[in-house]
Structure 1
Amino acid sequence: MQSVRFKNRTWDVAADLRLPEGFDRTKKYPAIICAHPISSCKDQTSGSIYAERLTELGFVTLAFDASHQGESGGEPRYLEDPATRVEDFRCAVDHLMTLDYVDEDRIGVLGICGGGGYAANAAMTDHRIKALGTVVAANYGRIMREGGALATLEAIGKQRTAEARGADPLVTTFIPDSPEELAQAGATDVDTVNAVEYYRTPRAQSPNSPNKLRFSGLEAAVGFDAFHLAEVLLTQPVQIVVGDVPGAFGSYRDGFELFNRARSEKKDILVIEGASHYDLYDQPKYVDQALEKLGSFFKDTL
């Protein structure tokens, strides 16, 4: 594994480049860009699980930290901006195009959770991407619009005004910051409970995934639809993976929406029995099934 940097606008995006065993620089390899969930980082499921396993199957992989997050540059920090997240993919493709051992006609993307929604959106307008895989893809804009979008926009506007007048930025959290906070909140939804177990305990906790979100930067997310124009522009082969245990984050229904809307002639959805959203991040029983399907999909399409 090599630590690399590539540009998005004026800042560096941090990424891990993995090369398959027996790598020969004189040969051409298919490559897969791996994108992490919202609030996550390349050190967690997208890199250490999915990119690692796809590299073992013979692919060059590039797992990156989103701009404004993790080890990547970009100010302000902790910003979740859909347009920038999508541009990260295009810049990742640009970087792969500079590597003489990457076959420019065999580049795919794999996105997990919110990274899957962003990956689908990027594939629509960057057709250098030849195949799209998603695991529990979530449409972040849909999530933001549920549960009072207009009230959220009012609150964001007030916070932006306060910051324009000199107030400190409001940095909030995506989820309860500890199992103790989760218990105090009384949350019982499987996605919320498992998110805290994944991100805020030794199961997968990382300093590059600090559970911080800049509240005043969220207007664009409220108006974002990751699947907008999929029925017109998404023509590449698509492999979607979801679990059949639905939770509040909605990846089960988002997976079927993407499947139904994609214009792609070659598209498939795998529903993994007994798997919740976060089971497909790191639980071998379910991840193995996802990777068996994704591995054969990318070998067939790249």
Structure 2
Amino acid sequence: MLSRTFGTLTAAIVLGTTLLGAHTMTHAAVTITPMKGAQALQLESKWDKIFPQSSKVEHHKVTFKNRYGITLAGDLYVPKSIKDGAKLPAIAVAGAFGAVKEQSSGLYAQTLAERGFVTLAFDPSYVGESGGEPRNMASPEINTEDYSAAVDYLGLQNFVNREQIGILGICGLGGMALNAAVSDTRIKAVATSTMYDMTRVMANGYEINMKQNAQGGYDRAQPQTDAAARYQTKVQLNNGRWEAAQNGYATLSPANNLDPAKDITADTPKFIAEYANFYRTKRGFHPRAVNSSPQGSWATTVPLAFINMPILQRASELRAPALVVHGEKAHSRYFSEDAYQSLGSQDKELYIVPGANHTDLYDNTTGKIPFDKFEQFFKKHLK
């Protein structure tokens, strides 16, 4: 998620080679059932993640369809220790916003599979290897639906207990995960990591001072954007629809993914530099990620629905247990703190990781990502 300007609104938002047909795949104790109607996608067959492949987990490239008819691509991770006839708890994982399943979501999914869960890391609609036209589009409704479609897919597998399915969202897909758990009563537990509410940040801009305080955190401030500024933003975005419509709504915003070797200065907010140092370096770069490519950017019409359709208005009606994880030093911490307060779950926890910034929870497995906490949470509630 890198800084990007849509008119007057500044918000941080951030080919395959193998044809995968709709055939049943069998390996060891697992027979994978395809979803009817999913289109064949061109999927990369070689391991191209930013993290090493585990020897404890079977990995399968899969496709499934959401209720809007968009075919999604996923990486299914199954513990090698699974026994014939066993039905395991399962977790669907996605995020960050503008990232792909070969980055953080895949790392989370593979690690949780090592700990006994069937996991599915997937690319949301319109990005990565998933289908959907035009490309680099996003929607608060469709991206919420993508989680429910992942639950559908997992529940069709005969080695998954469909009464024990949870979801996990990272960064901007964290807000979507909470929204999905409010809507979809089949989701028995929901966790978020370094969460963003993308509808809130696109409508309000940041609600923090852009520079860190003496303690290394970020002080709360008034939203950057008010109703008058939002109106002017909508005027610009909607006037731009004429050109976008002529181009099949495929027109992209100007690319603004910062190069950490050239574009970072003393005046660059530290968290913007942190994004660049993840997505634009060997640490987290992936060519299919919107946030990684020098030309990467979102379609110009993306902010319209996000500005106008807040995703967590029914948060107080959430009944599923919730674990909300965030870094102590993250600029985005206020999203998790406020979401936690709004959740109606009787069993909920806000867990702050000492010393962690926002991107530490993308890939820092040496003391920052609290995988033990996630494991304990899901084992407690997916049973």
Q: Same fold (TM over 0.5)?
A: yes
Measure, in 2, the Cα distance between the counterparts of 1:198 and 1:24. Answer: 38
Q: CA deviation at 1:183?
A: 2.5
Deviation at 1:257, TM superposition (A): 1.1
Partner of 1:300: 380
Q: How does 1:87-98 map to 2 (within 5 A)?
A: 87-98=145-156
| Alpha-carbon distance in 2 for matches of 1:199, 1:222 | 25
Residue 272 of structure 1 corresponds to 353
* Matches of 2:366 and 2:84, distance apart in 1: 35
Q: Whole-Å Cα distance in 1 between the matches of residues 240 and 261 of structure 2?
A: 28
2:353 and 2:368 in contact (8 A); partners too: no
Aligned to 1:216: 301
CA distance change for structure 1 residues 235 and 167 in 2, over 3 Å: closer, same or farther?
closer
Indicate if the aligned counterparts of 1:20 and 1:55 stay in contact, CA closer than 8 A: yes
Task: Give, in whole Å, the separation in 2 of the partners of 1:167 and 1:136.
Answer: 34
Supply the distance in 2 between the matched residues of 1:3 and 1:222 (Cα, whole angstroms): 34
CA distance in 1, matches of 2:327, 2:134: 35
**Bigger mean CA offset, 16-25 vs 272-281:** 16-25
Partner of residue 256, structure 1: 337
Separation in structure 1 between the aligned mates of residue 127 and residue 102 of structure 2, nearest angstrom: 12
The aligned residue for residue 82 of structure 2 is 23
Q: Which amino acid aligns with 2:320?
A: Q
Contact 1:159 1:170 in 2 (8 A): no
Q: Distance in 2 between matches of 1:32 and 1:166?
A: 38
Contact 1:182 1:196 in 2 (8 A): no
- For residue 239 of structure 1, what is the aligned residue in structure 2? 323
User: Alpha-carbon deviation of 1:217?
Assistant: 2.9
Pairing 1:179-190 to 2, within 5 Å after superposition: 179-180=260-261, 182-183=263-264, 187-190=267-270
**Structure 1 gap segments, 5+ residues each:** none
Deviation at 1:181, TM superposition (A): 5.5
Of the candidates 166, 172, 176, which is equivalent to residue 108 of structure 1? Answer: 166
* C-alpha distance in structure 2 between counterparts of 1:69 and 1:39, whole Å: 8
SS at match of 1:51: helix
CA distance in 2, matches of 1:87, 1:162: 29
1:59 aligns with 2:149: no
Q: 1:238 to 1:167 in 2, by over 3 A?
A: closer
Q: What's 1:229 paired with? A: 314
Q: Does the 8 Å CA contact 2:323/2:348 hold for their aligned counterparts? A: yes
Cα RMSD (Å): 1.8
Q: Give the drift of 1:187.
A: 4.8
Q: CA deviation at 1:111?
A: 0.5
TM-score (norm 1): 0.92
When residues 200 and 24 of structure 1 are mapped into structure 2, their CA distance, relative to the original with a 3 A threshold, is: same
Q: What letter corresponds to residue 228 of structure 1 in structure 2? A: Q
Query: Offset at 1:190?
Result: 2.5
- The residue type equivalent to 2:130 in the other structure is S
Q: 2:371 aligns with which of 265, 283, 291?
A: 291
- Kindly state the Cα deviation for residue 32 of structure 1 after the two structures are TM-superposed: 0.3
Further displaced range: 269-278 or 6-15: 6-15
Q: Deviations over 1:196-241 (max 9, x none)?
A: 1111111110011033210123200112323211112x11101111
Q: 1:206 aligns with which of 283, 286, 302?
A: 286
Identity fraction in percent:
33
Alpha-carbon offset, residue 177 of structure 1: 3.6
The 3 A distance-change label for structure 1 pair 243 and 24 is same
CA displacement at 1:76 relative to structure 2:
0.7
Q: Whose helix fraction is larger, Structure 1's or Structure 2's?
A: 1
Give the secondary-structure state (helix, strand or coil) at the position aligned to 1:85. helix
Unaligned ranges ≥5, structure 2? 1-58, 206-223, 292-296
In 2: Cα distance, 1:168 partner to 1:11 partner? 17
Amino acid at match of 2:92: I
